[in-house]
Amino acid sequence: MIRRQDLQFPEKDNALREDVHALGGLVGEVLRDQGGERLFSLVEGDRVAAIGRREGGPAIPVELDDAGDFVPGEVACAHLQPAPGTEIDPKSLEVTGIILDHPFRMAKPEKEALDHVFAAVRAAVRRHGCQRAILVGHNAHFDLNFLNAAVARVQHKRNPFHPFSVFDTVTLGGVAYGQTVLARAVQAAGFQWNSDEAHSAVYDAERTAELFCKVANAWSRPASGTRMPGGENGTVITPAGDQAT
């Protein structure tokens, strides 16, 4: 786990950061005292959801609607504690907006976070009668390498993902729309793109899911139909990696 004191911030900001931490705790106490546990839980849920749009390891199962079309399912995500020994690039944190020592972040160790996300993935695999989940991502092997490394690091024994098969929306976007950059492929597919939300783990995963479903639904399928792309394997979206150029 990366400790707050191990991160380097301008010395002039130390007092302000401590004040923010103290204020956050005070706000929580006031909410509980004045509005009760129910109000606190509602506000806390919104707060966690807002932070979740900037970080975490989301997975979005691809579901089938009543018409047999592919549609993005519900997001499952968790805030991660950096693995021991991880080198954190401050410039990356500036891009993503992640604040590792935020008092309300409530990050989980890797094993616990993987348990949470994998449970949702395994449920989708069972729901569609599949054997394995196939990772879908933008530069999907980039994401899969990170996932496999985390699984190996914590020695996780119930990884639902296929160890090497993926669907890459870089390739799909290039074939379908002539665009390999996620933002351009999403817009070419007819969806909106918000640059202010880009690089949020959940936002990128949602746009990747929409792009995949749009291309997959336009593709002609066998007359007998397949339950999910990949035959016996299911499909699950994970956050997009670095965008192709």
Distance between CA atoms of residues 174 and 23, nearest Å: 48
Exactly one of 79, 128, 138, 199 is catalytic; which is it? 199
Distance between CA atoms of residues 22 and 181, nearest Å: 42
User: DSSP of 96-126, one letter per residue?
Assistant: H---TT-TT---B-HHHHHHHHHHHHHHHHH
Amino acid at the residue 2: I
With the CA atoms of 209, 214, 220 and 221 taken in that order, what torsion angle do they form, in degrees rounded to the nearest 10?
Answer: 30
Distance between CA atoms of residues 176 and 188, nearest Å: 9
199 is known as an active-site residue: yes
| Catalytic machinery residues | 199
